[in-house]
Chain A
Amino acid sequence: MKGAAATVRASYRSWLARPRSATVRRLRRRLRQVRDRYRHSLQLRVTTATLILCAVVVSVLGYILMQHLVAGIYANMQQTAKIISDEGLATAGNATDFSEPPNPTSRQAMWHLTQNLASTGGTPYAVEVTLLPQFQGPPVYSSGYTVGFYRSRPQFPQKLISDVYTEWKGRGHVAQRPVSQWASMALASSPRPVPGLLIGAPFGSDYELYYFFPLAAEQQTIASIQQSLLVAGIAVVFLLAAIAWLVTRWVVVPVRLAAQGARRLSAGELHQRMEVRGSDELAALATSFNEMAASLQEKLEELEDLSQVQRQFVSDVSHELRTPLTTIRIASDVMFGARDSMDPAAGRSAELMQGQLERFESLLTDLLEISRYDANAATLDAEPVDVCTIVLQSADIAQQLAERRGTRIEFRLPAEPCIAEVDRRRVERILRNLLLNAVEHGENRDTVVTVAMDSAAVAVSVRDYGVGLRPGEEQLVFDRFWRADPARARTSGGTGLGLAIALEDARLHGGWLEAWGESGQGSVFRLTLPRVVGGDLHGSPLPLRPLPLTAVADGLAAGDAVAADGTAAGATASGSAAVGTAAVGPDAVADTAEAADAAEPAGPSGQAATSGAASRG
């Protein structure tokens, strides 16, 4: 049974999957709509099921009822026919004219008997009185007389005639038992044959009597009963379906309301409650829903309070720590200023203290920033600004470091300003971090900063050609206090929280911060921000992984290989190198965008991003 259903389903699927013309496709879409509708609506399903089941039950009941009625009517009719025909036979048998074999007076007698037996009352029938077949001819020359038949000599079924003859022979001139058969005969009242009951019997010495009872009236009755039953049945089926629809509505509407309430609740409307009516199961559902909502609200408020406490604590710690630190800082400044007049040991101590105080301060600042994020206390202070300007401004410290190392930061900026609603302070902080990291890990090679924009998003990518990242490190880099190589000394004294804060900053904007890297090929950090606050990101105007890398050799994505321009040093990358990309963006959306990115360089936006870049640096 299960197997059969599966086969049907499979064949239905393959039928759906077949390529068709436009009309069929439209039909298929319609079908799919109906199917979805059916699948998603309990009410529709219950109503349909009720409709089908009721139709089956009513049909079966109607059929049985009809059989009974018809059988009753026919039996009734047969009985009437029997009474009339028995009466006729008795009359015929009693007539002395027929006790003799046929003779010339028989014609007269048969005619009289026919007229005598003709239909008089409410039951219409036809009668024939005739001679047995072998006596027809001389000396009587008569085939008998009829009343009510269409033709004077009706054509009776051969079987009935022979049955009557057998009866006559068997009874030995004592005519009694009539023989009956269902047959269609033409009547004077209706030239077209009508079905009816034909009764024949031998009587007298050599005579036969035939009765025909048409079923016309009975058939009319049956037809009208059938019609009424059909109408009543259809009405009952639809009424029951309507009742089922209404009843399911009673159940489904509160369930729908509960679903809606739950949806709103999950969307953050914690005050959402259901109306409780009565004390039935649905009321219980509403009550439990409300209890759940209340407890959820309570828990959330508790959490909020905790977070409030945490925020207050952070703020207090901040104040309490910062005031003494300020005193220490200024004192250190004073001592540092006077170090030339101190003895060498004290002077060097003042220098060390000054340096470490700076480190301590930036660590404290970063820690407070992170705890602000942890407490959900970070707020976005967005205003429309030109992201290109921010890029250039944030590069100052990185520029100084680059100059000291004898490298360059190359800017590829679009000609027109990239206005976006962002928090200038946070974006500056992100970019400062990315640039500083790029220069620091760039192995004295140039760093390339590219900015691009489309209608929804603005993206900044920072590319370095340094040591790059090992597989899996694309996500680790955003971890707090993560170090690529714990043994390696830091040169610029980063706190280890920079990228973690940068990632939080990007998320606060509803944007993405993603990393790509490969051992020996350098790395790319791409920041993508929506151009309006609260805007959705569906993709980035810039590719994350550099264009001409291993895609050709790996045969990963055809789109990736199209626009190879040979700018990157990684063009010689070996085919075996695994390209590790990681979406550290908000969620799975980033992942799908990533997949789109793979094909993007061939697309118009990817092209515009690179060819539209004008050097401003």
Chain B
Amino acid sequence: MRDMKGRVLVVDDDAALAEMLGIVLRGEGFEPTFVADGDRAMDAFRDTKPDLVLLDLMLPGMDGIDVCRQIRAESGVPIVMLTAKSDTVDVVLGLESGADDYIVKPFQSKVLIARVRARLRRTDDPAPETLTIGDVTIDVAGHSVQRAGEPLNLTPLEFDLLVALARKPRQVFTREVLLEQVWGYRHAADTRLVNVHVQRLRAKIEKDPERPEIVVTVRGVGYKAGPG
């Protein structure tokens, strides 16, 4: 794993924390760049073209949520939110604005590194594979998804989630299993992550997100791909 380098943009107004994060990230072989202000975050993002963004939710200038939305509008780059609030509303708001994952302060350095690695990990050379659920076609190697011939724009995380479900159609995945397979969590953590991202995914791939046909909820258990 040491060889997996990546540029990480740290958006945080707390100088001490930013420096500390820098020390840890460099120690793990990442290339961190820093920005302390929400208003300058987008410029820094466009300049550095990072592989991952670590984003503090509370920022001077532009709010972390807005920064997240703007980045998401331009790119599918993994965004990991740093938040001091673990309340459902705050977390869900952050996830709905497009963050892939979140870490609640205070966190341990190994948790941070594990989450960052999990977001950057990609299967090196996926075998050519085409999956189909309903009218949605997934080209796994080409990282593209089409519905009835129309290309759909999914973030890498949404893509991973869809592929995980589509590889075993009709199998019911619990939220815990999905957390482990898609997010790389070992121990059950926050299943709200799965709920919010399933909603985001449905909004993109379903004809009617209110009555999903591709990613179906199994009451009391979890989710599965395909109808019935």
Contacts and interface: CB of A to CB of B under 8 A. Distances in A.
Interface stretch (B105-113, B132-140, B161-169): B105-113
Contacts of B24: 330, 333-334
Interface string A372-408: 1000010101011110010001001000000000000
Contact of A325 (B21, B106, B176, B195): B106
A327 B20 contact: yes
Interface in B85-123: 85, 87-89, 105-110, 112
Nearest to B109: A333
B136 to A, nearest CB: 25
Given A331-B20, A384-B219, A386-B220, A326 B176 contact: no
Contacts of A379: 87-89
B141 interface: no
A424 B85 CA distance: 18
Interface string A306-339: 0000000001001100111111111101100000
B16 interface: yes
A218 interface: no
Given A372-B87, A393-B176, A396-B187, A327 B220 contact: no
Nearest to B19: A327
Contacts of B191: 424
| Best-buried of B14, B88, B220 by chain A (most CB within 10 Å) | B220
A309 to B, nearest CB: 17
B92 to A, nearest CB: 9
Nearest to A380: B88
Contacts of B89: 379
A419 B221 CA distance: 9
A417 interface: yes
Interface string B9-47: 000001011001101100100000000000000000000
| Best-buried of B23, B85, B110 by chain A (most CB within 10 Å) | B85
A389 B20 CA distance: 39
Given A334-B24, A385-B220, A323 B84 contact: yes
A333 B24 CA distance: 9
B69 to A, nearest CB: 21
B58 interface: yes
Interface size range on A against B: 20 to 34
A424 B191 CA distance: 9
A421 to B, nearest CB: 9
Contacts of A385: 220
Contact of B16 (A327, A393, A424): A327
Contacts of A323: 14, 17, 84, 105
Interface on chain B toward A: helix, strand, loop, or mixed SS? mixed
Nearest to A417: B220
Interface residues of B, number: 33
A319 B83 CA distance: 8
Contact of B84 (A319, A424, A425): A319
A419 B17 CA distance: 43
A331 B58 CA distance: 22
A319 B57 CA distance: 10
A315 B176 CA distance: 29
B188 interface: yes
Contacts of A384: 219-220
A454 interface: no
A333 B111 CA distance: 11
B219 A419 contact: yes
Contacts of A331: 20
Contact of B23 (A319, A334, A377, A381): A334
Contacts of A333: 24, 108-110
A147 B120 CA distance: 140
11 contacts: A322-B84, A323-B84, A323-B105, A326-B20, A329-B107, A330-B112, A333-B24, A334-B23, A334-B27, A385-B220, A419-B219
Interface of A: 315, 318-319, 322-331, 333-334, 361, 372, 377, 379, 381, 383-386, 389, 393, 396, 417, 419, 424-425
Given A328-B106, A329-B106, A330-B17, 9 more contacts: A315-B85, A323-B14, A327-B20, A330-B23, A330-B24, A333-B24, A386-B221, A393-B176, A419-B220
